[in-house]
Chain A
Amino acid sequence: MADLGTVALLLAVAAALYGILASVLGAARRDPTLVRSGRNAALSVTALLVIAAAVLIYSFVTHDYSVQYVAEHSSREMSLPLTIASFYSGQEGSLLYWATTLAIYTGVVIWQNWRKNVALMPYVTAILLSIETFFLLMLNFVSNPFVRLPFTAPDGLGLNPLLEDPGMLIHPPVLLGGYMSWSVPFAFALAALITGQLGTEWIRTTRKYALFSWAVLGMGNLLGMWWAYHVLGWGGYWGWDPVENAALMPWLVGTAYVHSVMIQERRGMLKVWNLALIIITFNLSIFGTFIVRSGVLSSVHSFAESSLGPYFFSFLALSLVFSLGWLFYRMPELKGEHEFESALSREASFLLNNLILLGIVFATFWGSIFPLVTEALKGVKLTVGPPFFQRVDGPLFLVLIALMGIGPLMPWRRASTRTLQRNFGIPLAVAAVATAALLAIGVRLAPADLALFLCTFVLATTAQEFVWGTSVRLRAGQNPLLAFVNLLRSNRRRYGGYVVHVGIILIAIAITGSQFYQLEKNTALQPGQTVSIGRYDLTMGQLHEAAFPGYRQVWADLSVRQSGQDVGTIDPAKQFHTNFETEPNSKVALLSTPLDDLYVVLAGWQPDGSANLFVFVNPLVMWLWVGGIVLLIGALITLWPEAEPARVPVARPVREGVRVEAI
């Protein structure tokens, strides 16, 4: 079976190369037959990759241990979902996953746009196929998942225990999908640059794709945090490790894009900037996909180093030179149509938001590659760790939060004093009262107070927007629920955006709480002894040990009282998996409440039956995950297809390059 996969991959390269050629030639010669042929080649790449992926899944499910990749990443005792998930647990499979999802997405994009964007589509197809070709070349010639062992192994090695977790089923595919999906906005942007059709067409088309990518990448990051938090057992969810930073950076630049693109739509400004943002986001996504495996940055996550590094850097360089070259070439055609008129305007607050986001990315990027740079320049390796990122990115994130409250209530062009008073009076008062209350209950760390002040301010401005919008409809006689739903429907993008903001604020509140008010204790407990931390008292019961299929487990049972109330027992554990005896795997005991999480790790034990425990109380962490769900809901509201077509067709916000050229 696996040979079918090999063949499919080879054919896919050929089809992709042909597709690029046919699309570009067809578009240049205005030959619709050739263009169609290019499209069909793209669709056959999709089919071939689906076959290849299906073959690999089949090999996993049927335990075909003659295939090296299958033998190295799964074993007979693994559950079916995990066996399938092993598909993307290694380098070869994750490349195939990337390539396959890109191929499917390419098919979807072709299906959605072929008729709508006749001029752009041949180039979009060619660009997507070019990205695809790079992955296919890697899959065929550098990192092939279908390579056979000289023999058939009786059983596979199994998955690393850290990966044997529900998080494995969802975090990698979503994160990789997020990286992958930025290819589409990039392809449209580049196609617009190549064709010179720099008007609203590509912006309008790209809008939803960009939002989709933004949401998927954001969820990928959040799921990674969730996984790290409940699996890795160090009490946190974000370590400012280069690999994490690499996943955050494209998301931040993407965030800048989804905001600044609104200025282009409304005011015809920042055209070069928007194209540059898309180009950067895509290239950072590629950077994120590969940095993990290049071995150039030392990371806790540094997976086995691979030979991919040089290829990936060449691809990145090529893609940057090509896209920035086109951007430079089209620069004269990308003049803004308006200028900034006032610092008190929505444009200005969006511009500031963009500068701050890019500033965070810039700092994070240099912080991550700092050791490389200093080694190259000064011959010594200097590094920065979490303190750097907290110190630099922290204040910038606070400014962003402030802007999240200010921006949406700023009118376009310029604001009058009266507008400012009307829009910000109540939210500022609410935030002041909330902060006073926080000070009264003892939250007295200045950065935390400032962060929470800003968060309540944003929540209040957002609530005010919803109340104003709903009350207009209430006055028109609609019932409150209907009024609210209709409000959301009346401008999904705007109100969906507000919901996303609420999600981000919840996340910010959770980060503030857990950053500034985490409690930590490490302790050794004899049976019967008690440790107190925050509002919790933990009493040690017994140590236990037992063998389970595939692993051996040691655990302690602890009874927990919360503010004097009995809330049950928890049992932090360590598992020793067969095949991985030297890499025990902590099972964190987690008691999650809206106020705080009790987080207990069994670090070790002594012959006398005592247990070494790390106990954390992490305030407000639950809101991180709630915020993620709210964010997802907001993104869905924004992305939900419109119930067209009774509406006026999408009006043209800014001058269209097409028409300009035609004149």
Chain B
Amino acid sequence: MSEQTIERVGERARERTGDSVSRQVDGTHGPFAVSPTRPTAGPGADGWSGAPRRLEPGPASRARSVRVVVAVLIVVSAIGYLIYTGFQSTTVYYLTVSELKAKGPAAGAVRVAGIVQANTVVRSANDATVHFTIADQGGSLPVVYQGMVPDIFGPGIQVVVEGHYTAGGLFQADTLLAKCPSKFTAAVPTPVSVH
């Protein structure tokens, strides 16, 4: 009920403040245009739905639009700032093995992709540590990783590791992602090559 009241007041105010649309309209859209599901009196039955008078937008309305634009700008810049700082603080380099070796341990947190080499995977018996070597066209890189290993991880699988290059030449990985070579197009198990 209160909504109807609000709408009715709204209609009055609309007539008062005028309308920025410059076209004439007929009077059939009354205040009851609002809720299609609520049975109400027909349009025009309430006496509020005459053709609105047309008035030029006044200074008050212009001030309001400025306020809205300013408010929108503030929100948008806040979101922009959040995104900017997000990028600043979480970006990591995606490097090839040779790029990583050129940069050395100073590279910081990086991501490296490569193929797990045959006969290099060593899993420790009692904790979840895995040692393995990945390689791309530019060279090979020994990796140590502790944590959840994806099911398809194994020799010949392309993996992406994220972590740090240590002074000893070992890559300490914090995350290990394996690409599913055939997740959707199940096929004969073939050796995967770098695309």
Tell me if chain B binds chain A. yes
Chain A residues within 8 Å of B, Cβ to Cβ:
72-73, 89-91, 157-160, 162-163, 233-235, 265-266, 268, 295, 298, 300-305, 335-341, 343, 348, 351-352, 355-356, 359, 362-363, 366-367, 370-371, 380-385, 387-388, 391-392, 395-396, 411-413, 490-493, 522, 524, 574, 579-586, 601, 603-604, 606, 610, 612, 614, 642, 647-648, 650-655, 659-660, 663
Centre residue among A305, A642, A651, A659 by max chain B CB count within 10 A: A651
Determine how close the nearest CB of chain A comes to the CB of B34; give it in whole angstroms: 6
Partner of A91 from the list B20, B64, B85, B184 (CB cut-off 8 Å) is: B184
CB neighbours (8 Å) of A382 from chain B are 91-94
Question: Which residues from A are CB-within-8-Å of B92?
Answer: 382-385
Q: State A582–B121 Cα separation when bound (angstroms).
A: 14
Q: B151-195: which residues lie under 8 A (CB-CB) from chain A? A: 151-152, 154, 156, 160, 162, 175, 177-189, 195
Which residue of chain A has the shortest Cβ distance to B82 in the bound complex? A392
A385 to B163, CA, bound (A): 12
Does B186 lie within 8 Å of A383, measured CB to CB?
A: no
Q: How far does the Cβ of B132 sit from chain A's closest Cβ, in whole Å?
A: 14
Given contacts A233-B151, A648-B39, A652-B28, contact A385 B90 (CB under 8 A): yes
Asked if A653 and B148 make an inter-chain contact with CB atoms under 8 angstroms apart, the answer reads no
Known: A359-B79, A659-B25. A583 touches B39 (CB 8 A): no
Distance between A423 CB and nearest chain B CB, rounded to angstroms: 10
Question: What is the interface of chain A mostly: helix, strand, loop, or mixed?
Answer: loop
Q: Within the complex, what minimum Cβ distance (angstroms) separates A136 from chain B?
A: 21
Do A391 and B184 touch (CB < 8 A)?
A: no
The answer for the CA separation of A653 and B43 in the assembled complex, in Å, is: 11
Residues of the B chain whose Cβ atoms lie less than 8 Å from the Cβ of A160: 180, 182-184, 186
* Beyond known contacts A303-B185, A491-B38, A584-B151: 6 more, CB 8 A cutoff: A338-B14, A341-B64, A348-B71, A362-B79, A491-B35, A655-B29
Nearest 10 pairs between A and B by C-beta? Answer: A381-B94, A359-B79, A303-B184, A392-B86, A160-B186, A388-B90, A650-B36, A653-B33, A522-B128, A304-B185
Set A304, A395, A647, A653: member contacting B29, Cβ < 8 A: A653
B20 touches A391 (CB 8 A): no
Q: List 16 A-B contacts (CB under 8 A).
A: A300-B179, A303-B180, A303-B183, A303-B185, A335-B20, A337-B21, A363-B83, A380-B93, A383-B93, A396-B79, A522-B148, A524-B125, A601-B148, A610-B125, A652-B28, A653-B34
Residues 1-38 of B at the A interface (beta carbon under 8 Å): 2-3, 6-7, 9-10, 13-14, 19-21, 23-26, 28-30, 32-38
B75 at the interface (CB under 8 A from A): yes
Q: How far is the CB of B65 from chain A (nearest CB, A)?
A: 6
Contacts of A647 in B (CB 8 A): 36-37, 39
**Across the interface, do B90 and A391 meet the contact criterion of CB distance under 8 Å?**
yes
Give chain B nearest CB distance to A354 CB in angstroms: 10
Q: Smallest Cβ distance from B17 to chain A, in angstroms?
A: 8
**CB-based contact B154/A582 at 8 Å:** yes
Complex Cα distance, B113 from A89, in Å, reads 27
Distance of A340 Cα from B20 Cα, bound (Å)? 12
Contacts of B128 in A (CB 8 A): 522, 603, 612, 614
Contact between chains at A652 and B79 (CB < 8 Å): no
Q: How far is the CA of A522 from the CA of B185 in the complex (A)?
A: 32
- Tell me which of B9, B86, B187 contacts A384 (CB under 8 A): B86
Residues of the B chain whose Cβ atoms lie less than 8 Å from the Cβ of A304: 181-182, 184-185, 187
Tell me whether B82 and A363 are in contact (CB under 8 A).
yes
Q: Is the CB of B180 within 8 A of A300?
A: yes
Q: Is B162's CB under 8 angstroms from A381's CB?
A: no
Q: Quick one: closest B residue to A233, CB to CB? A: B151
Q: Does B68 contact A (CB under 8 A)?
A: yes
What's the minimum C-beta distance from B38 to chain A, rounded to whole angstroms?
7
Contacts of B24 in A (CB 8 A): 663
Given A304-B185, A363-B83, A663-B24: A586 touches B94 (CB 8 Å cut-off) = no
Residues on B with C-beta less than 8 A from A574 are 151
B37 neighbours in A (Cβ, 8 Å): 490-493, 642, 647
- Supposing A339-B68, A651-B32 touch, asked if A413 and B181 sit within 8 A by C-beta, the answer is no
Chain B residues with Cβ below 8 Å from A581 are 189
| Measured CA separation A302–B183 after assembly (Å) | 8
Is the CB–CB distance between A298 and B160 below 8 Å? Answer: yes
**A663 and B34 contacting across the interface, CB-CB below 8 Å:** no
* In the complex, chain A residues whose CB is within 8 Å of the CB of B156: 582
Complex: A493 Cα to B2 Cα, angstroms: 18
**Closest Cβ–Cβ distance, residue A409 to chain B (whole Å):** 11
CB distance from A336 to the nearest CB of B (A): 7
Task: State whether A363 touches B86 (Cβ < 8 A).
Answer: yes
Chain B residue contacts of A651, Cβ below 8 A: 29-30, 32-34, 36, 40, 43
